Amino acid sequence: MAADVTSMFEMRRRTFLAGAGGLALSTVAGVSRAADEVSGELAVLNWAGGTELDMLHNLQKAFVAKYPKVIIREVNVTGQGDMRPGMRTALMGGEKVDLFVNTWPAFRKELADAGILRPIDDQWKAYDWDKRLAPSWRDLGSLNKVTYGLTYTFGDRSGIWFKKDHMAKAGIADMPKTWDEFTAIMPKLQKAGFAAPIAVPGKYWAHAEWFETLLLRTAGVEVSAKLGAHQIPWTDPAVKTALQKYATLITGGFCGPAADMLATEWDAAADQVFQANAKNFILIGMWLNARAKDDYKLSEGKDYGLFQFPGLGMGHDDTSSVDSKEYVVTANGENPKAADAFLDFLTTADAANIIAKAGLASPSKEVDASLYGDVQKVATAAVANSKVQFVLGDLLPGDLVDEYRVQLQKFLQDPSDANIDKVLAAIEEKAKASY
């Protein structure tokens, strides 16, 4: 009996050791297999261009270096202005991709409603992205408490770009902090030879930037959010007040003739400030940082700078407009494991630093903030210290956003009070049918 017990114990011990060893081996093998499983073709729908595309390619290269068995196939969508049509066409045309970049919350909803997006809540938990991303970024990529997007970069849309030698030429030492200071430096710049200091690219969409930050600064983030969801009408007095502030820049002659604004696209407006030295200020977003360095060969912080939108003293000077770009994964992608691994990679220090080196901001806690240049530091600090609201135009349904931009073009043509009423009534009429 004793022998039996001993042998039984021995057997149990052997069994345990064998089992433990087997478990250990299988665990190691399992991890190894998990790494091996990230392989095959990863199809990425791409619509970016220029320096931003270079940055995305660098991210892809670093990802492939980490997962050498992955081959990336790019499906390129080309166009100008709003890239959603090309993306819709590709997706509806049966193009199967694993992931793509999205920057429009309204488009995320459209895609999610159509069942094209795969939720990433399980992945968020499994990869423990909370360790690397603040909860607010998860909220930003969510829709009705379901997470679809992983933000990889964000930008300050209330930062005004300027070139330092222009300011020196006009004898301006400090950038304006208040609206009155801002309007007061305009005559100085005009005297220095800059006929219309503010570049307003009104051909497509960028003329809405001034209105959107002015709305935040005059009425606050809540009003802007309500307007985006059409919980208040466009004819609300708060909206009119923002346009009236915008009108003072136009009627003051600081933006130039309406025809000039309406004939200028966003990149031409940037050229006017940074290349032609014909204008001084542009409000357009952080993508300009990479363009200034790569295309204009300017030195960040030395040749050009960024200052936060001047305060209006209306109780909402702590607000900023922001944008973000997220990767979303598709429900019908053929390589979901590689897609998830790519999302995870975006949160790592390697990816965050590639983004930072490209002059953009990364939401990852792993980012080496010392890589940010002077301009990016100003922008990142401004976003961190602000009540933020996503770019209004990107929150509007496709049908409405077009009308919104066209009506704002009509506002540029005639910024009178009477026309502001007409413009807002026209947007409201469209909004009624768009939600």
Partner 1 sequence: MKTASAPSQRGPDSVNHASAPALDYGRRRWRLGDAPAAILLLAPAMVLFAVATIYPLLETIRISFWDIQGLRKPVFTGFGNYILLFSDAGFRNTLLTTLWFTAGVTIISVGLGWVLAMLCALAPRQTLVFRMMFFAAFGISETVSGYMWTGIFRADKGGLLNSFIELFGFPDFAFAWLGNANTALWALIISSAWSAVGLPLMLIFAAIQSIPKSVLEAAYMDGAKPLSTMRFIMAPLSLPGVRVAVFINLLTALRAFDIIYVLTNGGPARATETVGYFIYRESMTQFKLGYGAAATIVLLVAFLIVSAPAVIQRTAGAK
List interacting residues with partner 1 (CB under 8 A): 81-82, 84-85, 88-89, 91-92, 110-111, 113-114, 116, 202-204, 257-264, 268, 272, 276, 278, 398-399, 402, 406-407, 409-410, 413
CB of 112 to partner 1, least distance (A): 10
Identify which of residues 91 and 395 has a Cβ nearer to partner 1 in the complex.
91
Identify which of residues 23 and 433 has a Cβ nearer to partner 1 in the complex.
433
Letter for the amino acid at 232? I
Name residue 161's beta-bridge partners: 282, 306
Rounded to whole angstroms, how far apart are CA atoms 323 and 338?
27
Identify which of residues 264 and 324 has a Cβ nearer to partner 1 in the complex.
264
Rounded to whole angstroms, how far apart are CA atoms 333 and 315?
47
In 10 A of CB 281, how many CB atoms?
24
Asked whether 284 and 391 are in contact (CB, 8 A), the reply is: no
CB of 398 to partner 1, least distance (A): 5
CB of 248 to partner 1, least distance (A): 21
Name residue 399's beta-bridge partners: none
CB of 324 to partner 1, least distance (A): 21
Rounded to whole angstroms, how far apart are CA atoms 262 and 264?
6
Rounded to whole angstroms, how far apart are CA atoms 145 and 89?
28
CB of 100 to partner 1, least distance (A): 14
Instruction: Give, as one character, the DSSP assignment of residue 93.
Output: T
CB of 144 to partner 1, least distance (A): 17
The pair of three-digit structure tokens given for residue 204, joined into one six-digit string: 């497509």
Instruction: Give, as one character, the DSSP assignment of residue 178.
Output: B
Identify which of residues 11 and 92 has a Cβ nearer to partner 1 in the complex.
92
Identify which of residues 82 and 326 has a Cβ nearer to partner 1 in the complex.
82
Asked whether 339 and 332 are in contact (CB, 8 A), the reply is: no
Residues 6 or more apart from 407 whose CB is under 8 A from it? 423, 424, 426, 427
CB of 107 to partner 1, least distance (A): 9
CB of 153 to partner 1, least distance (A): 25
Identify which of residues 149 and 202 has a Cβ nearer to partner 1 in the complex.
202
The pair of three-digit structure tokens given for residue 79, joined into one six-digit string: 């166009």
Identify which of residues 96 and 410 has a Cβ nearer to partner 1 in the complex.
410
Largest CA distance in the chain: 108
Letter for the amino acid at 57? H
Identify which of residues 78 and 370 has a Cβ nearer to partner 1 in the complex.
78
Letter for the amino acid at 235? T
Identify which of residues 204 and 296 has a Cβ nearer to partner 1 in the complex.
204
CB of 380 to partner 1, least distance (A): 33
Rounded to whole angstroms, how far apart are CA atoms 98 and 40?
12
Identify which of residues 155 and 333 has a Cβ nearer to partner 1 in the complex.
333
Residues 6 or more apart from 82 whose CB is under 8 A from it? 205, 401
The b-or-e profile of 47-66 (16+ CB within 10 A means b, else e) is: bbeebbeebbeebbeebeeb
Instruction: Give, as one character, the DSSP assignment of residue 433.
Output: T
Q: What angle do CA 148, 40, 336 make, to 5 degrees?
A: 20
Identify which of residues 392 and 400 has a Cβ nearer to partner 1 in the complex.
400
Strands 387-390 and 319-329: parallel
CB of 218 to partner 1, least distance (A): 24
Asked whether 62 and 31 are in contact (CB, 8 A), the reply is: no
CB of 399 to partner 1, least distance (A): 5
